[in-house]
Amino acid sequence: MDIGDIRNEYTQSGLKRSDLDASPLAQFALWFEQARQAQLKEVNAMSLATVTPDGMPQVRTVLLKSFDERGFVFFTNYNSAKAKELEATPKASVLFPWLDLERQVRISGTVEKITTAESFKYFTSRPRGSQLGAWISEQSSVINSRTVLSTLMQQIKEKFKDGQVPLPDAWGGYRIQPTQYEFWQGRASRLHDRFRYSQSSGGWQIDRLAP
């Protein structure tokens, strides 16, 4: 199927160096809030890229759950494919595709597990169904049918029917500690605006990149 004729012209706005905050975190927070105010669907959805031990890139969508000066936090099963990849190579990149605003943000950096206390705090804020689901899903493993999940869910509901659902040992968060950000704003004729923040000895260096 030839789909080469699918194209859009980006005309909403541009991005100048003078528009940017000196702090990439502050710039991200500004764009994130603007995306939320625009009521974009799943504004905190980010494509997470990792690499397998044999060098094969892998990407999937996860949800950002918090961000501050320490980094960007998401949660997963610690036995999942992504967790095993991060254990072998604790580096990752994420992409926020805010395409309705003709914007993208890329963030790359090192990755570490957050503390059990931090994971517990978020886990207890989740809906009970999500808490139970974290107990039964051996994420990324092969299962015979959905019936397996339904059966396990009934069993775990019965097990924890009388109290709080505890934090599973194999579930928790990761924090991406950024070493590089890129802010992309679509422009006409594919002459997009791209600015990269890179860590340097004096703080963050900002460079304009060719589109």
Closest among 62, 160, 78 to 113, alpha carbons compared: 78
**Cβ-contact 64, 43 below 8 angstroms:** no
Task: Report pLDDT for 41.
Answer: 95
Please give the DSSP secondary-structure letter assigned to residue 158: H
Categorize the per-residue pLDDT at 3 as very low, low, confident or very high, splitting at 50, 70 and 90: low
**Residue 190 a catalytic site member:** yes
Tokens (6 digits) for 210: 């060719």
Q: Is the per-residue pLDDT at 196 higher than 80? A: yes
Hey, where are the domains in the chain? 17-116+170-209
Residue-wise pLDDT for 157-189, tens only, equals: 999 998 899 999 999 999 999 999 999 999 999
Tens of pLDDT, residue by residue over 78-125, are 999 999 999 999 999 999 999 999 999 999 999 999 999 999 999 999
Cα separations in angstroms, 133 against 39, 82, 121, 149, 160: 28, 18, 17, 9, 12
User: What is the spatial distance between Cα 88 and Cα 90, in angstroms, rounded to a whole number?
Assistant: 6
Identify the H or E element spanning 26: helix 24-37
Q: Mean pLDDT lowest for which of 112-116, 137-141, 186-190, 200-204?
A: 137-141
Using one digit for the tens of pLDDT, what is the confidence trace for 34-81?
Answer: 999 999 999 999 999 999 999 999 999 999 999 999 999 999 999 999
User: Which element (helix H / strand E) includes 156?
Assistant: helix 146-159
Which among 17, 128, 190, 208 is annotated as catalytic?
190
Predicted TM-score (pTM) of the model is 0.92
Render 102-113 in DSSP notation, one character per residue: TEEEEEEEEEEE
CB atoms within 10 A of CB 182: 19
Give the integer Cα–Cα distance in Å for 110 and 176: 6
Phi, psi angles (nearest 5°) of residue 26: -65, -40
**CATH number for region 17-116+170-209:** 2.30.110.10
- Residue 199: strand pairing partners: 204
